[in-house]
Structure 1
Amino acid sequence: MLAHIPLMIVPFILYNIGLAGLFGDLSDPWAADVFSVGMLSGGTWTMTIADLFVLLALLLLFVEVLKATRTSNASLLDHMLSTLVFIAFLVEFLLVERAASSLFFILTAVAFIDVLAGFSISLRAASRDVNLR
């Protein structure tokens, strides 16, 4: 049953935990630097918590796309749950003032791509399973 839980719920939950102030600074918890690396060019590359969120969302999107390639009876449930997660992202983005940020918009866009990719891949795989002879 855990395999059917949409993984995009993880960034959604973590973002809301951060909004609740459990990660520290209430003003902008996503701006904190995680690490900095001096580059050969002389510049400094800095990774923030927001950057890590985007990276996490992209990695989870990759796993969700791999999950979408499975053809089973439960794939419809997976797509419905992913759609509900996207709707939750969209509603929160539109209605919650502190969710009106570029980070949350990017997470919402990744959830939307998850929904589109899931349905597209499943339809493509299902069309291969149908034999019209």
Structure 2
Amino acid sequence: MRANVPSALPCAHAGQGARQERLAMLRALIVAPLLIIPVCLYLLVSLTAGQGGTQARLDGALFSLPMMSGGRFVFALGDLVLLIGLIFLFVEILKAARTKGDAIVNHSLSMVLLLFSVIGFLAFPGFGTSVFFLLMVMTLLDVVAGPIVSIVAARRDFGIGENVGG
């Protein structure tokens, strides 16, 4: 006599949908230029700046620390946006070492982000700050460095170079 024990097979397949969603989300993170995050953060700061303007909001201190020299280290909102941008630029350069087909999509989307950044810098008053200019330079570095790093990585993968084979 056999007991009515539910099969383990449905449980094994129950997590497939969630796994597929996680893989799709990971793929989107790999393909999307991560520098869009600090650019969108800057956009949020600019849109919520109010009367004082974007520059005043960016200059607002998040915290300050006394230094041994007697001065104070002041960390402003604009500094945080730039720090986030630098971290994501580093990750973007690491992502550029991939030689898969999605790297081309990433480079293309990075170019689109640079285009929107240049338009924003030139056309909108809230984007004419040194913080946004440096974010725009980071997107430019991503656009320039991305394909160069990909080409170097592809040459290494295919064995093209000075010290190959000998």
TM-score w.r.t. length of structure 1: 0.91
Match of 1:58 among 60, 73, 86: 86
Partner of 1:69: 97
Higher percent of residues as helix: 2
Pair 1:20–1:26, CA change in 2 (3 A): farther
Pair 1:41–1:85, CA change in 2 (3 A): same
TM-score w.r.t. length of structure 2: 0.74
Any gaps of 5 or more consecutive residues in structure 1? Answer: none
Match of 1:10 among 15, 23, 37: 37
Question: Among the aligned pairs, what percent are the same residue?
Answer: 33
How much has 1:16 moved relative to structure 2?
1.0
* CA–CA separation in structure 1 for the residues paired with 2:50 and 2:126: 15
* CA–CA separation in structure 2 for the residues paired with 1:29 and 1:115: 29
Q: Of the two structures, which has the highest relative contact order with CA contacts closer than 8 Å and spacing of 6 or more?
A: 1
* CA–CA separation in structure 2 for the residues paired with 1:94 and 1:31: 21
Any gaps of 5 or more consecutive residues in structure 2? Answer: 1-26
Q: Which moved more, 1:4-13 or 1:122-131?
A: 122-131
Which protein shows a greater Rg?
Answer: 2
The one-letter amino acid paired with 1:30 is: L
* CA–CA separation in structure 1 for the residues paired with 2:51 and 2:80: 17
Q: Please give the per-residue CA displacement for 1:77-99, whole angstroms capped at 9, x wherever unaligned.
A: 11101111111111110111111
Q: Which runs of 4+ in 1 moved over 4 A?
A: 23-26
**What is the aligned residue count?**
132
1:1-133 mapped onto 2 (5 Å cutoff)? 1-2=27-28, 3-21=30-48, 26-27=52-53, 28-130=56-158
